[in-house]
With several copies, the nearest count.
Chain A
Amino acid sequence: MATAAETKGWTRDQMAARAAKELRDGYYVNLGIGIPTLVANNIPGGMTVTLQSENGMLGIGPFPYEDQVDPDLINAGKQTISELPSSSYFDSAASFAMIRGGHIDLTVLGAMEVSEKGDIANWMIPGKMIKGMGGAMDLVAGVKKIIVVMEHNAKSGDPKFIPECTLPLTGKNVVDMIITDLAVFHRPDHDSPFKLIELAPGVTAEEVREKTTANYVE
C-alpha cells in the first residue's frame, strides 16, 4: 500500500481532506459536486458540520441503503441521499435566501480556472454545449468563504491558476482559497494577493512556480 509520503502531490481524497481542515465546529457548509463532495467523508471527529443542499435541505445524510432510496430525497447533484435527525427542508427561494444572505459559512467548489484576482470560471466553455450555471453563481456571490479545489494543471498541462480567466466568469473577485494537487493558496481578504501557504508532499515551491502563471506571494 502506498503511503502519502511516497506519492508526489495530493490525491483527490487528500485534496478533499485538506479542504476539510478549513471546517470549524458549528459550520454550515455547501459542497459542490466532484472532489468537493469528498470533503463530507473528512469531517474531523467531534465536530458538528451541517451540509446544505441548495435544492432545499439542511443536514445532508450519507447515501441511502438500497431499501431507503427515496425519489423525493436528492441532493443538488440529483443523487439520492438520506436525512439526519437534525435535517430540515425548505423551498428553493428560502434556500437561496440562506446562500445569498451570507448565512452559509463555507463552500467548496471545483473550477476550470481561477485568476490571481480571485475570479472563478466553472460553468461554461464557449463552443461547447452550455448546460447552465445552476447554483454556482449564487454560491460564489453569497457564501462567506469560497474554497476552490482543482487539479493544478489541466490535462493539457495548462495552468488553471492564471493571471486572468479566459472562460466566462462564474464570479468576480470571490475566491478565498485554492487547493490543488500540488499546493494551497490563500488570501486573508479580497484586496490582498494570494499567498502560497502549503505544499503537497514531495512538491517544491519552484515546481509550483513553474506550473503556475498567476502571480502570488510566496
Chain B
Amino acid sequence: MQKIYSSAEEALQGLLFDGMTIAAGGFGLCGIPERLIDAIQASGVKDLTIASNNAGIDNEGLGKLLRTRQVKKMISSYVGENKEFERQFLAGELEVEFTPQGTLAERLRAGGAGIPGFYTKTGVGTQVAEGKEVKSFDGEDYILERGIRADLSVVKGWKADESGNLVFRKTARNFNQPAATSGKICVAEVEEIVPVGSLDPDGIHLPSIYVKRLILGAPYDKKIEFKTVRQREAA
C-alpha cells in the first residue's frame, strides 16, 4: 500500500468535486496545508464548503481560494485580516457559518468519531444558539451542535513515516488533528518523510489510519502574521 504521492495534484486526483465539503487544518497561517490549497486552487473545483478556523489572509492560505471565488461557504470562528473575504461577505457572495472556536474543533472531532451531535454550554443565550435545540442537563442549559463529516480533509504535518504515521510541531498542530479525522479521506503534506520505525510509537499524533495519501511539501517558506520579539539586554 503506497501512500506517498509525488505531488499535491496527484494526491488529490479523483477526490475533488464541485459542491464538496473540505476540512482544513491550520490556525491563522500556522500549520496550513499550503501545497494542497494551491492544488485545489489549480484544479478549479468550485462551490466549496470549507470548515477551517480561519480563512487565510489576502492571497495566503485559504485566501487564495476566496480570491478565485471557489468557496461558497466558510465554517469558521475568526475571519479577520482578509479584505477579499470582507468584500465578498458584505456583497452577499460568500456564506459564513460562524462557529465558536472550541465548538468548531469539537464538531470536527465528533464528525470523525462517529458522533453526529453533542451538547455544549458554549453560545447558550447568544446568536450562536439560534435555531438550535436547547436541552437541560442537571439544571443547566446546553445547545446541540452537529458533528462535521467532511468529504475531504487537507492537513499539514511536520514529519510522517512511510506508513502514514504523523507528528506535528509545536502550535502548528492546532486544527490539523481534528480536521484530519473529520474527512472521509484525508490527504496530508509534511516537511519530511522518514522511514517506518523512525518515529516513537508513543509519540504519534495522528495514527496512520487517518492518513490515506501523503506528499512531501518541503521546502516551506512559513509565513508569520504578527512577529513579536523582545530585545536582549546589553551585556
**Chain A contacts to B: CB under 8 angstroms:** 25-26, 28, 48, 50, 52-59, 62-66, 69-75, 77-81, 83, 85-104, 119, 124, 129-138, 141-142, 168-173
Look across to chain A and name the residue whose beta carbon is closest to the beta carbon of B182.
A101
Number of interface residues of B (CB under 8 A): 77
Residues of B within 8 A of A170 (CB): 126
Question: A134 to B98, alpha carbons, bound, how many Å?
Answer: 9
Which residues of B in the span 106-161 have a Cβ within 8 Å of any Cβ on A?
Answer: 106, 108-109, 111-115, 120-128, 158, 161
A92-B178, A132-B77, A137-B102 known; 17 new pairs, CB 8 Å cut-off, are A28-B209, A48-B1, A56-B27, A70-B170, A72-B172, A74-B171, A80-B224, A87-B201, A90-B207, A92-B101, A92-B105, A100-B114, A132-B78, A133-B100, A137-B122, A137-B126, A141-B121
Tell me which residues across on chain B come within 8 A of A86, comparing CB atoms. 161, 163, 165, 196-197, 208
List residues of B whose CB falls within 8 A of some A CB: 1, 27-31, 53, 76-80, 86, 89-90, 96, 98, 100-106, 108-109, 111-115, 120-128, 158, 161, 163, 165, 168-178, 181, 196-197, 201-202, 204-205, 207-210, 222-232
Number of A-B contacts (CB under 8 A): 243
Closest 3 CB pairs of A and B: A96-B102, A172-B125, A85-B197
**B28 contacts A134, C-beta separation under 8 Å:** no
Report whether A134 and B77 are in contact in the complex, using a CB–CB cutoff of 8 Å.
Answer: yes
Can you report 20 A-B residue pairs in the complex whose CB atoms are below 8 A from each other? A28-B209, A48-B1, A52-B209, A55-B171, A56-B27, A58-B209, A90-B207, A91-B175, A92-B177, A93-B178, A95-B105, A96-B103, A98-B113, A101-B111, A130-B98, A133-B77, A134-B77, A137-B102, A168-B126, A171-B125
**Contacting pair B222 A72 (CB below 8 A):** yes
Given contact pairs A78-B28, A79-B226, A137-B126, A100 touches B120 in the complex (Cβ within 8 A): yes
Tell which of A65, A104, A134, A138 touches B230, judged by Cβ atoms closer than 8 Å: A65
A71 touches B207 (CB 8 A): no
Evaluate whether A77 and B226 lie within 8 angstroms (CB atoms) in the complex, with A89-B202, A141-B122 already known: yes
Counting chain A CB atoms within 10 Å of each CB, the highest count among B77, B89, B120, B232 belongs to B77
Which A residues touch B115, using CB under 8 A? 100
Q: Of all chain A residues, which has the CB nearest B80?
A: A131
Give Cα distance in the complex from A203 to B27, angstroms. 42
Q: Are B103 and A138 in contact (CB under 8 A)?
A: yes
Of all chain A residues, which has the CB nearest B121? A141
- Min CB–CB distance B162 → chain A (angstroms): 8
Given A72-B31, A97-B114, A142-B114, the answer on whether A91 and B124 have CB atoms closer than 8 Å is: no
The answer on a CB contact under 8 Å between A64 and B197 is no
Contact between A172 and B124, CB atoms less than 8 A apart: yes
Bound CA span A21–B108, Å: 34
Determine whether the beta carbon of B127 is less than 8 Å from that of A97. Answer: no
Expressed in whole angstroms, the minimum distance between the Cβ of B200 and any Cβ of chain A is 9
- B122 A142 Cβ-Cβ under 8 A: yes
Residue contact A65 to B229, C-beta cutoff 8 Å: yes
Residues of B within 8 A of A28 (CB): 209
A209 to B36 alpha-carbon distance, docked (Å): 55
Q: How distant is the Cα of A213 from the Cα of B125 in the complex, in angstroms?
A: 22
- Report if A83-B201 is in contact (Cβ < 8 Å); known contacts: A64-B230, A97-B109, A97-B113: yes
Question: Does B229 lie within 8 Å of A89, measured CB to CB?
Answer: no
Q: How far is A138 from B168 in the complex, measured between Cα atoms in Å?
A: 24
CB-CB nearest in chain A for B169:
A72
**With the chains together, A92 CA to B96 CA distance in Å?**
20
Of chain B, the residue at the smallest CB distance from A83 is B201
Given the contacts A78-B225, A91-B178, A137-B128, A142 and B1 also touching, CB distance less than 8 Å: no
Q: A56-B174, A72-B171, A98-B209 are in contact. Are A93 and B197 (CB under 8 A)?
A: no
B123 in contact with A141 (CB, 8 Å): yes
Q: What residues of A have a CB within 8 angstroms of the CB of B126 in the complex?
A: 137, 168-172
B192 → A minimal CB distance (Å): 13
Contact between chains at B224 and A71 (CB < 8 Å): yes
Of A58, A100, A119, A134, which is within 8 A of B78 by CB? A134
